[in-house]
Amino acid sequence: MIELEGVPELVDPVMVAAFEGWNDAGDAASTAVAHLDREWKGEVFAALDAEDYYDFQVNRPTVFMEAGVRKITWPTTRLSVVRVGGEKPRDLVLVRGIEPSMRWRSFCNELLGFAHELGVELVVVLGALLGDTPHTRPVPISGTTSDPDLARRMDLEETKYEGPTGIVGVLQEACTHAGVPAVSLWAAVPHYVSQPPNPKATLALLNRLEDLIDVRIPLGELPEDARAWQVGVDQLAAEDSEVAEYVQSLEEARDTAELPEASGDAIAREFERYLRRHDGGGPPGAGGHATADGSDSTSYLRDNPSGRARPPKPPKPGTDDEESSED
């Protein structure tokens, strides 16, 4: 039985979740939830029992010293709550942890139990996958749901993905069966530079989340970190002519495929975000990962330039290999 003593009654609560591992290329999704927790000073109110869900030979505990005493931190999933003020107050229930090693259905049912007890109105699960996208262009964000009505109301895609899935897809489906509205937001991370962190992808996820739940998110140093990250990757790519040529081909394919995106709706969304951030209100601004086709992938840019593999040619716009989100 779930007991939530000490947790205040929440206002229009939304659950936002992210999990390290296969669903989290570049640590973009888990870093986004960590950012929300840090900026809004989240208070942890629950943690799932690590013994139930994790293989400690896969996700090992860590030892640390505190006041001269050795202690152990066990891999787990923690829930915290943050209170967002402003003209339209709203509370967020933040879920951050590691993709479980076992008993996924029980894991999801336990999270749904918290959502039910807290009166959560919407579950948003963040993820990041590796894709054929250039680091020099805006990060593609796919918003998907299994609910046709929700897709229409929130300008989302009704998911059509088939293939391997991770805990993000399983949790979203569990929400659907439980009658809880659920959305997945996926950031596409360049597969040739997948090492964490990726502040540009994290920033893109937070911007899309902000639009989705109508809450202004303080960004802190993320915009500057994203610019510095892109400059750093520019420099790395420039050191290898093959990689530089590959990035250019991705840019051309992306620009051709997304030319229709320069629409009135897209421009209006960006203008609305600009106005929100300049209206004077609110606060100032390892292993394989999921890919567009559900397979695992590794990075091409490495610390040692001589160790780079030759990148594949990007897909032509309009082919079946175009980037799609994994739900």
| One-character DSSP codes across 51-114 | HHH--TTTS--EEEEETTEEEEE----EEEEEEE-SSS-EEEEEEEEE--SS-HHHHHHHHHHH
Q: What is the pLDDT of residue 286?
A: 45
In the block, residue with structure tokens 């998907």? 144
Distance CA 36, CA 150 (A): 24
pLDDT tens for 58-97 read 999 999 999 999 999 999 999 999 988 777 789 999 999 9
DSSP 179: T
Instruction: Write out the H or E segment, with its range, that includes residue 224.
Output: helix 222-238
Banded model confidence at residue 240, pLDDT cuts 50, 70, 90: confident
In this predicted structure, the answer to whether residue 212 has a pLDDT above a threshold of 50 is yes
Instruction: Write out the H or E segment, with its range, that includes residue 284.
Output: none
DSSP 279: S
Q: Which of 123-137, 246-260, 303-317 has the lowest mean pLDDT?
A: 303-317
Q: What is the pLDDT of residue 86?
A: 74
In this predicted structure, the answer to whether residue 21 has a pLDDT above a threshold of 70 is yes
Higher pLDDT, 195 or 202: 202
In this predicted structure, the answer to whether residue 223 has a pLDDT above a threshold of 70 is yes
**CB 234 within 8 Å of CB 301:** no
Q: What is the pLDDT of residue 66?
A: 92
Q: What is the pLDDT of residue 85?
A: 78
- For the chain, domains (ranges, CATH) are 13-262 (3.40.50.10900)
Q: What is the pLDDT of residue 115?
A: 95
Percent of the chain with pLDDT over 90: 58
Mean per-residue pLDDT, 233-238? 90
Tokens of 313: 């040619």
